[in-house]
Amino acid sequence: MIDWDRLRDLREEVGDESFAEVVVLFIDEVDAAIDELSSLDDAAALARELHFIKGSALNLGFSRLADLCAHGEQKAAEGDKTAVDIDSLRNVYAESRRQLLAQMPPAG
């Protein structure tokens, strides 16, 4: 669900203090984006929001979420908004978020 190697690499790249800031920013932004998914009326807006979440997820190693977003983004870009399983996206994000906060790789 989470690519822990990606998280360790990111932490090494930015340092511990910046890494903590990145995690907080990621959670704040993706929480808001996930909450907004159900309210998006058109498929193009949904595709854009899924693209944003996918990019954020890839940066922080949320690989399963990124995969679901990529699939949903493709379906929404094709105009098939109903093929996007928003509940699954929410559930995978919630579980990934829980795992990240519980098992964040230690510094060093």
- Dump pLDDT digits (tens) for 36-86: 998 998 999 999 999 999 999 999 999 999 999 999 999 999 999 888 999
pLDDT of residue 104 exceeding 80: no
Domain extents in the chain: 4-102
23 Cβ partners below 8 Å, 6+ apart? 60, 100, 104
CATH 1.10.10 fits 4-102, yes or no: no
CB 89 within 8 A of CB 76: no
What's the pTM? 0.89
Mean pLDDT confidence for 21-39: 93
Q: For all residues of the chain together, what is the average pLDDT? A: 92
